[in-house]
Amino acid sequence: MSYYRYHVFFCINRREDGRACCANHHSQEVRDYAKERIKSLGLDGKGGVRINTAGCLDRCEEGPVVVIYPEGTWYTYVDKEDIDEIIDQHLRQGHVVERLKLKS
């Protein structure tokens, strides 16, 4: 078993040249929200969930994006309610949220 059950990476990349980027969708704020929610649920730490910041994941045009390992499941989201759904369905119950899933 790996150290964490799930390792979650939020792209917070900002492109200064005007191209699409996850930072344009408040990705840092949403990542911070997810980290706090995971802590408040007691899901953080060894054997639990780790929320991390990622630089460019090279899918900004589909963004904002988050990827969950070990499965390698990619999601997009619009708001904190979408993140709540990912946390409740995927990270707590192990079910992929099909409506937010990106094609691999």
Domains in the chain: boundaries:
6-100
Residue 1: predicted pLDDT: 63
Residue that the structure tokens 């840092």 belong to? 28
Residue 19: predicted pLDDT: 84
Residue 94: predicted pLDDT: 96
> Which CATH fold topology does 6-100 show?
Glutaredoxin (3.40.30)
Backbone angles phi, psi at 18, to 5 degrees: 90, -10
Residue 104: predicted pLDDT: 77
pTM reported for the whole predicted model:
0.93
Question: H/E element holding 84?
Answer: helix 80-85
pLDDT < 50 stretches in the chain: none
Closest CA to 22 of 56, 69, 70: 56
Give the CA dihedral 43, 2, 51, 41, nearest 10 degrees: 0
pLDDT one-digit tens code per residue, 25-48 = 999 999 999 999 999 999 999 999
